[in-house]
Structure 1
Amino acid sequence: MEDVDRCEEELIEYAIRESIRDSSIDSIQTVSGDYLRIVTAIEQGDVCTLQELSGLQAFTERDSRGWLPLHRAAVQSQEQVLNQVLLASFDVTVEDVTADGDTALILAVQEGLLENGSYDMVSTLIICGAFVEQVCLKKWMAIHEAAKVGCSAILVLLLRHGAKVTAVDGHNVTPLGIAAEYAHAEVLDILIKNGGDVNAKAYNGDTVLALRTFIPITTKRAIRLSGQSPVHSAADGGNVDCLELLIEKGFDVNAQLDTHISENYGDMRRSPLYFAVSNSDVTCTEMLLAAGAKTDLDPYELVRLLLSSGAEVNCYFRMISDTVFPTALQYCLRDHMMLRLLLNNGYDVDKCFLCNHGNGQDMDCDSWVDYHHNHRITLFYNQDYRASFCEIISLSSVVNLAGSVVQMLLDYVRHPRICPNLLRVLEKQKEWPDICDILVMAAVPFPPTLKHYLTYREYNEYGGSAASHS
């Protein structure tokens, strides 16, 4: 069906082009002698004769195709000729159309070659008030025609005078799609720089750009100057086929938005993965991850987005290690901002203070072994045992973090229980004096507002809801 439509369009365009080049016998038979004299003077570039003929009613006369002398002047190469015809056509406007719905501007753009004066014709018509977004019967605008003929100078001229890169024809095709179809790399470059949508879709659901044609003729410089990668657009639009092709062609799945684009989003997103996750697009998310998308390009925004979308902050991942406390905490012990984000979203802090060391028992050394090999720590785990927070934080790899982490956790518990093992670790930390003060305050019934002030809660990076149990 698509091939049939394309064939019909090509036949229509061929007929139009032929009618522009040749005057038919029927046309000659239906016009006056004055009209023929005017047309002859236009074709010969005879400005003097046109001046002599000024004032004749024949300047408002049309041939069988609906062409005025103005339309014929728009497709020739001499600017002086067009100027003279415009002066003589006082009862005609530049918006008058042919039988095919083409204005003089669209006809001039269709010629589209600098060497034949088309740029000057287009410029003159615009100066005289031609509307750059006038639609012809094909539902094309002048910018579509410029994208087809590949004249970048005329395209820039149209854009400068209000033409839109987002303009669509009757099939919802943009100028970018037209330029890609006809493989005009320079025009593609200009359109992308001016905001052309590389993922726009036609009404039939097909991606407008024939990506396999588009990719090799688009320069990396054009993509860089646009401030975003096609991968962002594919992920944002949920276009699985485009995303798959872009990945196949080696586009960077970790490309980041330029700052001036990222700032347009309230969450300051940067990565294609963030777009997919924010759209709840499981398929695109899986494709990006499988292609090597990094999850740490938008770490806080991604976690916050997942939590706001209902992700369970208190879930357990028991395949690697089984803990008494919800698993996520052990992965952000070194990142206090991420830790605060978890705590502010309902993390079950109480379980960090549950263990079997209340009677002064030592750590079960058969459960966890701190083994040093090549300056790396390997943990051998007994699967029948659930590790407590005090055991994890006592490991030599993270024991130096114990003071700062526990100090933050204490902001979120009402009656903390510090076991002997954890106490021995904390007493060696520089934060121990502050922790002692917090423990004292926890035992005294201060008003909640005062307690928040004393524990610096108002300086929380992520603000918002306080822990319900603090």
Structure 2
Amino acid sequence: MQANWSSIMSSASVSPSGSAAPDPNFEDYSPYSNLSDEELLQLAIERSLTDATNNRKTSTSPPPSPPQPDSNMNSAALNLGQAQAKHSQHPPVKKSHDLPPTSTTAHYSSPNPPSEKPPDPKTFVGTISRFMTGSGKRMVAYRRPDGTMVFIAPEPEEEEEPLFKAISIGNVNRVKALVMQPATNLMLPSKPGWLAIHQAAWFGQDVCLKVLLSAQPGMINKRTDRGESALLVAISKDRLRCVQVLLANGADPEITNYDKETPLYKACERNNAAMVAVLLNHGVAVNTPCIHGCTALQEAVAQNNSEICEMLLKAGAKHKLTNMFGISPLFTAAQSGHLAALRFLLKCGADINTQAADGATALYEASKNGHKEIVELLLFQNADANKPGKTGLLPLHIAAQKGSDIIVSMLVPATSKARVRRTGISPLHLAAERNSDDVLEILIETGFDVNAQLSEEWSKMYEDRRSTALYFAVINNNIDATRMLLAAGANPNVDMFKPLMVAARQGCIQTVALLVEHGADINAGIPTHPTTFPAVYMFSMKYLAMFKYLLDHGGHALPCFDCVYGSDPHPSIKTTRSQRDELRYSGSLSLESQFRRGVQFCEMISVPSISRWAGPIIDVLLDYVGHVTLCARLMEHLDSYSDWSVIKEKAAPPRPLLQLCRLQILKLVGRHRVKRLQLPGGLIRFLQHQEAQLDNH
């Protein structure tokens, strides 16, 4: 269709001679210029159908022979036609009266062209589809079961039947007149399942409703295509007078819709106490569940209407009934934060420790959703704060996870620390994970163990097998939380992968300094990935200031020059898993022992992302060692850049006496006690590797 529409519109802008670029000074002519947009759209649709039919015929029939010229045609006329074909680029413009009249009637090759009138939808066999054009016009298409088109046109506007129109505007006299006509069938719907009685209930026309019921009482309980009786329609639209009329005329108040929602349930959903009272006065059942197992009381609680709740309970509603998810009305009140409904249910004896199917309590849900007043009321009424949810977490855990510091403060006194330990995770972990510093501070102040570790089950949920709250704070780069935990006595050396390594990998010198000041082991290794040098160096070599800080505060430098190959050629670096497996199972005892020994510093510094800094790194390390021999691989790195030749000279023996004396003093006195020595300031700075020159010493 798009192609045909384009062809029609392009035809409207082509000059009579067929020139692709007509002179703008000439008047454009189109045989379709006298058609409206709607007629053009219809013509495009018809062409689309014609082309589709021709395509189908072409695939099975031979192409037609070309037309033969008329034998009586004048030769002069033929010559004239040839001359016109060779006309110049600016032919004379033909006026519209010179052209034969254009026919806008479409010619169909299909033996069954679309009919001028649409088929009757009630008797049509096939599919009826509706769609909208780009200009917003609504269209309707009729197709046979085999997919062929029967009819397509703009969708006609529905004209409302006189009786239904009269009801909608409340014209009682007109309704009476139409009802009295013999041709009027009140049991005939205007659309699927929609009777006149539903129309009156929808628009709240209670007088029209009386007229209809007096004429045809038998339709009072008929349902729409959604299963709604007129009573349900009236309730859903808050039509109280219509509800009263229907009930007075014998409407069944127990008929449900297809979701098994009763009129009473719908009245509670509409939060309409007057309609609830009317229905209860007619003796309706109050505990009938909907398709999800919810009762009218459950819905009234969801609306936080204590007045309706009171009416229902007096009529026999049971507050212990739960829906298909095991949720009771009290649980709904706590979950939704409806204080008035919760107070009323507790007053009526509802179970405060009710649990849903997943084990969650009302207190748990209120804590999760941040309902402070609900939590306060439940705790005041002695709700059990030590009942876990399906994940094993207590209300305190979930409040810490949500960052609700006020709720955490309320829950701490009611929660057993022994019960918290049995869960395998501390609320400190969750507060640190979510960067809830206020909650973290409260938990620390109330005595929760800052060194509590995750259970094995919880730790396995993290790829790095983290264990402490401190690890969570460091990996989140939360300096304030890290400082609070360390000040409270958190041990920075508990986790398998040390927080110091995490901080170094993130390049956060402030966190690194905090951890070192509180006793982080700079020389620790990684059990699963052994190295012959302090593992933290792997993550700090790109940050020379941090690397030097670690060396200044006790990091070992000598292991970095310890190499099993020495000045002999080194094997190629094994980077892939298959290469490492080949190394392990090669049968070479020396290689196998090296694998068990761990990665050497010279191998680590040869990684492409680090090797560009090899010279400066070796230069810094040399300030912290005495006589050392550079292995062949380290020499290769220093030889790779001419400016690094001075570093080779620095490493060549003998080392300066001043350097050897510095190392000996540090060894005897200890790095932490250097400041206490009665020495000049310049010498103290030299001993601390602050690279200041001695002042005449």
Q: TM-score range by the shorter chain?
A: 0.3 to 0.5
TM-score by length of 2: 0.34
TM-score by length of 1: 0.47
Larger radius of gyration: 2
Pick 1 or 2: higher relative contact order, CA cutoff 8 A, min separation 6.
Answer: 1
